């Protein structure tokens, strides 16, 4: 990601420009929006000094309302929705050295870098915590048990549904949550150099990977034999000439 040098100020101004009317909202009516303002779930952004008292919304408001509407469909109470709203709008320090509401900053990551982001709501006799996490942190906390009973809301989905066609939703990373050893095995498989691959475990943990490589280059076979660059090797000859070799390659996992 190239966000280290990114100045998010112009993106922030664009996301917060009040340009949308309530008819831009997907699957939600004006009465619901009015009720949410009365309950403190939404802020009333109307200009009190203007004769035009219409409500206008920013792109960030549209995304927030989309998330709130998902909570409504999951039967969250008004108090729970308000608590979640306050949590995801809490300021965080971004990589450009400035503070932004969490929802705004993570929206930058979705729109600019196509990074999967989730709003995670955990429970323990009611709402215990509200997180905004990328998929790596989400799976890490799931694996560690830090996150158990929870609801996950996709920020990508909220943006896709409510601001379509601003961006294309990315594929969910299928490798998220794998250990370093598991990733190493996948890396070895992807090399496509081995005829067979065997994973050996010791005390319930991966100890090593053994791959059998087929080699048909006679010069390379002779070089391997001279240098002893193998754990085990089987050489086949035809008319006193080396035709093929099967070399066993062992990769140990360091502990």
Cβ-based burial of 89 (10 A; exposed 0-12, middle 13-18, buried ≥19):
middle
Please list the alpha-helical segments (H only) found in the chain. 9-15, 30-38, 59-73, 78-88, 102-113, 135-144, 155-163, 180-190, 218-227
Max intra-chain CA distance, the chain: 99
Cβ count near 182 (within 10 Å): 13
Of 39-53, 107-121, 137-151, where does mean pLDDT reach its minimum? 39-53
Q: What local confidence, expressed as pLDDT, does residue 233 receive?
A: 83
Question: Who wins on pLDDT, 193 or 113?
Answer: 113
Cα angle value 143/189/203 (rounded, 5°): 50
User: What's this model's pTM, rounded to 2 decimal places?
Assistant: 0.62
How is residue 197 written in tokens? 């691959």
Residue 67: pLDDT over 60: yes
152 contacts 120 by C-beta, under 8 angstroms: yes
Q: Is 172 left (phi over 0), alpha (psi -120 to 50) or beta?
A: beta
Decide if 185 contacts 200 (C-beta within 8 A).
no
Cβ contact 118:151 at 8 Å: no
Read off the pLDDT of residues 146-168 as tens digits, 9 standing for 90 and up. Answer: 999 999 999 999 998 888 743 34
> Does position 106 have pLDDT exceeding 90, yes or no?
yes
pLDDT at 69: 94
Residue 87, pLDDT > 80, answer yes
- Provide the pLDDT for residue 170: 44
Residues 6 or more apart in contact with residue 73 via CB below 8 angstroms: none
**Three-state secondary structure along 22-38?**
HHHCCCCCHHHHHHHHH
* Sheet with 194-202, edge to edge strand ranges: 194-202, 205-215, 241-252, 232-238
pLDDT at 2: 43
* Contact call for residues 16 and 58 (beta carbons, < 8 A): yes
pLDDT at site 169: 43
Tokens of 9: 């100020």
- End-to-end CA gap in the chain: 30
**CB neighbour class for 55 (10 Å; exposed up to 12, middle 13-18, buried from 19):** middle
Three-state SS at 226: helix
């Amino acid at each position: 990601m190239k966000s280290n040098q990114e100045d998010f100020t112009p993106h922030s101004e664009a996301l917060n420009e009040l340009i949308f009317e309530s008819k831009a909202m997907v699957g939600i009516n004006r009465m619901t929006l009015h009720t949410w303002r009365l309950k403190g779930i939404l802020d009333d952004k109307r200009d009190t000094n203007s004769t035009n008292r219409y409500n206008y919304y920013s792109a960030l408001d549209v995304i927030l309302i989309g998330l709130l509407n998902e909570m409504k469909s999951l039967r969250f109470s008004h108090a729970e929705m308000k608590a979640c709203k306050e949590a995801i709008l809490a300021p965080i320090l971004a990589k450009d050295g400035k503070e932004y509401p969490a929802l705004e900053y993570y929206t930058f990551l979705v729109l600019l870098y196509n990074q999967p982001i989730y709003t995670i709501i955990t429970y323990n006799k009611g709402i215990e915590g509200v997180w905004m996490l990328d998929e790596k942190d989400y799976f890490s906390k799931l694996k560690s048990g830090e996150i158990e009973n929870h609801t996950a809301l996709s920020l990508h989905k909220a943006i896709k549904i409510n601001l379509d066609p601003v961006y294309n939703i990315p594929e969910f990373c299928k490798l998220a949550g794998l250990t370093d050893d598991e990733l190493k095995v996948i890396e070895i498989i992807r090399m496509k150099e081995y005829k067979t691959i065997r994973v050996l475990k010791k005390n319930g943990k991966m100890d090593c990977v053994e791959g059998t490589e087929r080699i048909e280059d006679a010069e390379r076979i002779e070089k391997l034999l001279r240098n002893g660059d193998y754990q085990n090797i089987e050489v086949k000859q035809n008319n006193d000439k080396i035709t093929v070799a099967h070399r066993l390659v062992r990769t140990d996992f360091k502990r």
